[in-house]
Chains A and B, each alone.
Chain A
Amino acid sequence: MEDFLQMVASGVVIGGIYALIAMGFVVIYKATGVINFATGELMMLGAFFCFTGMTAAKFPFAAALLAAAMGAAALGALVERVVLRPLMGKATISVIMVTIGLSSIFKGAAQLVWSGDYRAFPPIFPRAPVRLGSVVLPSLQFYPFLIALASCALIALLFRFTRTGTAMRATADDPLAAFSMGIDIRRVFSLSWSLAAVTAALSGVVIGTMGGISPQLGAIGLKVFPVVILGGLDSIGGALLGGFLMGILENLAGGYLDPLVGGGIKEVAPFLVLVAILMVRPYGLFGTREIERL
């Protein structure tokens, strides 16, 4: 039982991180209908920005994190303006491929600037693990989890209570109606991409503190797909819940099924779940059913 609780607790912790990544992804999808395959690479760049802030500019962690977020926001806006704006209205495959092309460019650029070496953040958090009853949470998981949780909360509040957030939600629901109400759609698109880049950067830093940074860090971005399918492609609440559920599920699968299958099932389980969901309930827990109107 103790093991089960441990696995669930760790699953919640990593799930929080998945939730943060998924939120950024859903923000873009909701606002612009674009599936962003460059999520992983944006995470990787965010982690590198923060790392450079701490090592080259010698900022303390909080300042470096803020700098990384600002850098990511600028990058997101730039990407939207230069690459996505020309493709507005074109076929979906084009937009998907453009994000894939971007991810390739980011990966190459990161390798040029920071070399392929694997880096570790300088020690940021206290070394001692956190104990909750019988459950032990390593410090390198717990504190990043807090950061992820805080970020998710911040974004949710942003959407709910600020004018900008309302504008973004309105645009996501019905761009034409929002436009006719006087909302500057282009600015909203820009903001959505900036926000997505910022969430990616934050989650990248979190993953970086847990496992180190390298240009290959982006590979974990693929995990966002099972999460958003589970939660619903266009639901932010779904992204949150989906993230936590996926984290717990992954850990339980790893803990109970690994001995049977010979290992590595943690990577595959989320995708098996994804296929199952596609078969049973394609729109996920909270996604809206797409109704095609002629």
Chain B
Amino acid sequence: MRRRKWIVAATGITAALALAAAGALAADDVIKIGACQPITGRFAFAGVSINAGLQDYINYANENGLVKGKKLVYIYEDTGYDTDKAVATFKKIMAKDNPVIMYGDSTGLGKAIAPELNSRYKVLYGSTSFSSELADPKIHPYSFVSGPTYSDQFGILLEYIAKNHKGKGNPKVAFFYSDTEFGKDPIPYARKRAKELGIDVVSEIVTKVGAVDVTTEALALKKTQPDFCIFQGYVLAPIPQVIRTVRDYGLKTTFMGTFWSMDKSIIDKLGADAEGYMGVSPYAYYNEDAPGIQSMRKYNEKANPKEKSRPNSYIQGWFTGMVYVEAINKVLAAKKPVTGDNLKDAIGMIRDWDTGGVTGKVTFVNNKAAVGRVYRANVVKGIFEPVSDWIYVK
């Protein structure tokens, strides 16, 4: 009995010492970045890459001392791309580690957590989402979008169509989107912009994500014969089926996509049918030669030699990391404490920032950096090639 008391006492003292030591370590020289990542679930393949990109950039920043005198610590958890679980994960990370920066897995999380983010948590919030709703500084002052919103991206594509349309009459465009937030977000703006540019939206087709049979949708396209068809709200399925079926029906429509539908893997999956596939991307691709991309490749050669290529979701994570570090450095340069409020103000101060070609010159206005480039698939080389310069949307 007496021995047990000693053991209990010893354990208690050790635990207390360990806690104290941990507390001492968690001092001011550490900046914590938390993340809720969709590593499993519907968005899994993108989630794994985004997580890798963000984590890699943070390691890269630490290795190269990009933030003077501070170490960045990255804490992440899986959400399964489920809003409920994402909210729980967010609260858990905040409760346990109290980071000053968070990264979210979806538009749904951004909206669900907004009331508490604004009133209680007050951390800088970046995410996978390019939703125009999150770019509203009045409702979401702490969020930012890592580039142009979906509406901006649509705008870039529509302008490209208006400028490059050959043939008589107005260009005919179809919108093909999924019945999710991701799919529907830019559509009202897209309709308005199309009208302004003199583009006829000849049909709008809505499907569930991952629909298997796309016959009726393809028939709807066949009936209206659009010159261009823009996808929104899909990552892969059912884009290949739609393109294949429509080509089977003999249509010559040019297909376009926004960021998440513009990963190189689409060219691989489509094969010859990828000919002419175009879209807008806010970032350069992994195979390009911009200096920022080269450092990305050099880092990966050392740290992850097995990965021959990285998808565009990786670059989204990497770039978001760059934004975090830029904001932190601006706050430190102004000799202010690194808090969520100061960080969000710092985002607004980023002007004409040269990212080494990872994207165009970045200026954050209204929580977004509306810049992107139009790319076209090169089936022979299996990559996307830029067909325009960096376009800045007002």
Contacts and interface: CB of A to CB of B under 8 A. Distances in A.
Question: Are A and B close enough to touch in the complex, i.e. CB under 8 Å?
Answer: yes
Interface of A: 3, 6-7, 10-11, 14, 111, 115-118, 120, 123, 129, 136, 138-141, 207, 210-212, 214, 216, 219-220, 250-251, 254-255, 258-259, 262-264, 266-267
A258 B220 contact: yes
A117 B44 contact: yes
Closest 4 CB pairs of A and B: A263-B206, A116-B44, A254-B216, A10-B215
Contacts of A254: 215-217
A70 B322 CA distance: 52
Contacts of A262: 206
B45 A258 contact: no
Given A10-B213, A10-B215, A140-B241, A263 B207 contact: yes
B212 A207 contact: yes
B44 A115 contact: yes
B216 A258 contact: yes
Nearest to B215: A10
Nearest to B269: A120
Interface in B217-275: 217, 219-220, 223, 236-238, 240-241, 244-245, 248-250, 269, 271
Contacts of A214: 210
6 contacts: A116-B40, A116-B42, A118-B45, A207-B212, A210-B241, A264-B206
B291 interface: no
Given A120-B269, A263-B207, A7 B219 contact: yes
A6 B218 CA distance: 11
Nearest to A4: B219
B218 to A, nearest CB: 8
B92 interface: no
Contacts of B271: 123
Greatest chain B CB density within 10 A among A138, A207, A267 is at A138
Given A116-B41, A263-B205, A136 B248 contact: yes
A264 B179 contact: yes
B241 A6 contact: no
Is the contact region of chain A dominated by helix, strand, or loop, or is it mixed? helix
B44 A251 contact: no
B208 interface: yes
B219 A255 contact: yes
Nearest to B272: A127
A139 B249 CA distance: 12
A50 B126 CA distance: 40
B237 A140 contact: no
A11 B245 CA distance: 15
Interface residues of B, number: 33
A123 to B, nearest CB: 8
Greatest chain B CB density within 10 A among A139, A210, A251, A263 is at A263
Given A118-B45, A212-B236, A264 B207 contact: yes
Contacts of A136: 248-250
A211 B45 contact: no
Contacts of A259: 220
Given A138-B248, A211-B241, A216-B210, A6 B45 contact: no
Nearest to B246: A138
Contact of A118 (B215, B216, B236): B236
Contacts of B245: 138
Given A6-B215, A263-B179, A111 B244 contact: no
Given A255-B216, A259-B220, 16 more contacts: A14-B212, A14-B213, A111-B40, A117-B44, A117-B45, A118-B45, A120-B269, A129-B248, A140-B244, A211-B212, A254-B215, A255-B220, A263-B205, A264-B208, A266-B211, A266-B213
A10 B213 CA distance: 9
Given A118-B237, A216-B42, A3 B244 contact: no
A129 to B, nearest CB: 4
Nearest to A120: B269
B42 to A, nearest CB: 6
A64 to B, nearest CB: 20
A262 B206 CA distance: 7
Interface string B1-44: 00000000000000000000000000000000000000011101
A98 B234 CA distance: 34
Given A14-B213, A263-B207, A116 B45 contact: yes
A26 B225 CA distance: 43
B215 A210 contact: no
Contacts of B223: 3
Given A211-B238, A263-B207, A264-B207, A7 B213 contact: no
B209 to A, nearest CB: 9
A113 B44 CA distance: 14
B328 to A, nearest CB: 33
A255 B218 CA distance: 10
B216 A251 contact: yes
B237 A212 contact: yes
Contacts of B42: 116, 216
A13 to B, nearest CB: 8
Contacts of B212: 14, 207, 210-211, 220
A6 B206 contact: no
Nearest to B244: A138
B392 to A, nearest CB: 33
Interface in B38-66: 40-42, 44-45
Contact of A210 (B204, B213, B216): B213
A251 B215 contact: yes
Nearest to B213: A14
Contacts of B45: 116-118
A214 B217 CA distance: 22
Contact of B219 (A6, A139, A140, A207): A6
